[in-house]
Structure 1
Amino acid sequence: MAVANFKKTLWEGALLANFHSVSIADVITTKPSSTDGEKIIFNRVGAGTLKDYTGSIAWDEITTTPVEMTFGQKKYFAFSLDDVDKAQLVADVMTATTKEHSAVLSETIDGYVLGKAIAGVKTANYPTKTTAKSITKVTDAYDSIVDLGTLLGKSKVPMTDRYAVINNDYLNLLQKDDRFTRNPEVLANGIVNNAKINGMTIIISEEVPTGKVVALHKSATGYAKQISELEAMRLQTAFADGVRGLTVYDSVVLRPEAIAVLNYTIALV
């Protein structure tokens, strides 16, 4: 193998494509307005105003509040192959390799993004933080998500692009409620197709912390990632080629009022 034949864009494209197909982070967050090296900038648009018309018009300037973030999280991967050249030519080998590493990366990043959202939620939108909601009936699971949507509504969060992230145990309860879809179609990235509760798209993820449901609007959190390094080399300690890469990412809460969290325990009677 000639390391010079390593096609960085081919591997990077495959990794990112597979990542986007299974990760929820891109779905539930806002992309940055600009990226400058390690610095990421999100712009939050100021509130609009209406005035009484009395014959003249006063113009308001549109203001934005920049929120800056740096890539504070760094994860690397490193694996060996008998021959990188052959892996690039054999689709099955390359696909399997990139899928596996993309899946692990998505689990890590999704969990981090959800954790940041929980930590940054508006206090009033987390009424069960101290005392968990005890789900004693199947219908409680559905009703609790409705309540989260109500909290977002009271905060005047737009109805579009709302999501509720739950785990499979919670989905199990919802499926036993006649108000929910009995045989839900779960897409590769966890979205439950054609199933909404109180205007929120339901997403399944095992990366949401145990005993938590996270409801949020797409504008609530900002998130960015990039593969900053990706290279191949001939290994000195084995008759093989090595591929290693460094991924940097981070997330920031932009609108605490656009997040609502349920802390629950399941105690069916």
Structure 2
Amino acid sequence: MAVTNFVPDLWTAKILVALRKKAVAGGLVNRDYEGEIKRQGDSVKITSINDVTIGTYTAHTDITFEDIDDATRSLVIDQQKYFAFELDDIERAQSVNGGAVMNQALDNATYQLRDVSDAFLLAAMNTAIQGTSNDLGTVAIHTTKQNLYDAFVDLSVTLDEDNVPEEGRWSVVSPSLHGRLLKLDSFIQAGDSASPLARLNGFIGEIAGLSLFKSNNLPAVTDAAATGGLAIAGHGIATTFAEQITSVEAVRLEKRFADGLKGLHVYGAKVVRPTALAVAEFDATP
């Protein structure tokens, strides 16, 4: 039985939409350079201009001209993930709707790709700021609930001090930390006013000027005492992300009576403004 109704462009578009629609971290980054990425191994050189020096003018005195200094960083597409599955003709014949089985498998593959890239993004953010001045260390939250709220205030103040725009700030927490936040009067839940799309993307409310998102893909803590997990706060200007579904192919397996479907997802991320991120870990041990 040959695959006769497969349209590569349509299937590829479906995968990309699902990846961006359901990802938590994928919605908290910028994709400024994505259009310049064509295939795995590609890279984009990102040029930034250093701050211009401001001088004091004195009448009848020459002013000083300075060179424009720039810094260059690379966004490299160094992650390659694939899916590949098959449906035997016998299994197709025994199923109520063989096409639905393939679609279900594709939906699951899409979810798995999203899940892996989401964890990759959060880990990249965390790695970029661990041990920096924007790493607030471990906060004890088992002694008083106020400490938990204060930690998010401190995260927000850290972003203030680094001139991060106030609009669009966010923080990502684990489900267990979300449970503790629900017990705080200062936590504003998303409620019915949040759009279904926002809730789908993990949005759960606001605290200390930060839009809060919930994810199971946060990286492991660096402090063994941080039993309450961690929270990453930041802004979309901090991290740039680019992805492509470079190939989706339906094949008739040569040595089997089966149809196969395979796809390749390539992507990369670069924290271009580490000061637009902050992190805190939490000690929840009684």
Scaled by the length of structure 1, the TM-score of the pair is: 0.82
Distance (Å, rounded) in 1 between the aligned partners of 2:213 and 2:49? 27
Q: Are 1:72 and 2:65 counterparts?
A: no
* The one of 153, 168, 176 aligned to 1:169: 176
Query: What one-letter code is carried by the residue in structure 1 that aligns with 2:111?
Result: A
Q: Is 2:284 the counterpart of 1:266?
A: yes
CA distance in 1, matches of 2:125, 2:200: 22
Distance 1:62 1:82, change over 3 A: farther
The CA distance in 1 between the partners of 2:30 and 2:167, in whole Å, is: 14
Shift in CA distance, 48/202, structure 1 to aligned 2, threshold 3 Å: farther
Alignment of 1:1-269 (within 5 A): 1-3=1-3, 5-33=5-33, 34-35=36-37, 37=39, 38-41=41-44, 42-44=46-48, 47=51, 65-81=71-87, 93=101, 96-121=104-129, 123-128=132-137, 132-136=138-142, 137-181=144-188, 184=191, 187-192=199-204, 195-210=205-220, 211-268=229-286
Q: Is the 8 A contact 1:14 1:98 kept in 2?
A: no
* Conservation of the 8 A alpha-carbon contact between 1:43 and 1:64: yes
Q: Which letter does structure 2 place at the counterpart of 1:175?
A: L
| Contact 1:31/1:222, CA 8 A, preserved across alignment | yes
1:25 maps to a residue whose letter is A
Higher deviation after alignment, 151-160 or 39-48: 39-48
Does structure 2 retain, via aligned residues, the 8 Å contact 1:71–1:249? yes
Whole-angstrom CA distance in 2 between matches of 1:81 and 1:6: 15
Give the Cα–Cα distance (whole angstroms) in 2 for the partners of residues 159 and 134 of structure 1.
Answer: 27
Counterpart-to-counterpart distance in 1, 2:187 and 2:166: 19
Alpha-carbon distance change, 245 to 60 in structure 1, aligned in 2, over 3 angstroms: farther
Q: Secondary structure at the match of 2:15?
A: helix
Aligned residue pairs total 258
Q: 1:39 to 1:173 in 2, by over 3 A?
A: same
RMSD: 3.2
Distance 2:15 2:259 in 1: 18
- Shift in CA distance, 91/161, structure 1 to aligned 2, threshold 3 Å: farther
Structure 1 position 6, deviation (Å): 2.1
Q: Which amino acid aligns with 1:80?
A: E
SS at match of 1:260: strand
- 8 Å contact 2:38–2:244 — kept in the other structure? no
In structure 2, distance between residues paired with 1:227 and 1:219: 24
Partner SS for 2:37 = strand
Please state whether the residue corresponding to 2:166 is helix, strand or coil.
coil
Question: Secondary structure at 2:156's aligned position in 1?
Answer: helix
Pair 159,31 (structure 1): closer, same or farther in 2 beyond 3 Å:
same
Instruction: Tell me the TM-score normalised to structure 2 length.
Output: 0.77
Match of 2:223 in 1: none
Q: Is the 8 A contact 2:2 2:259 kept in 1?
A: no
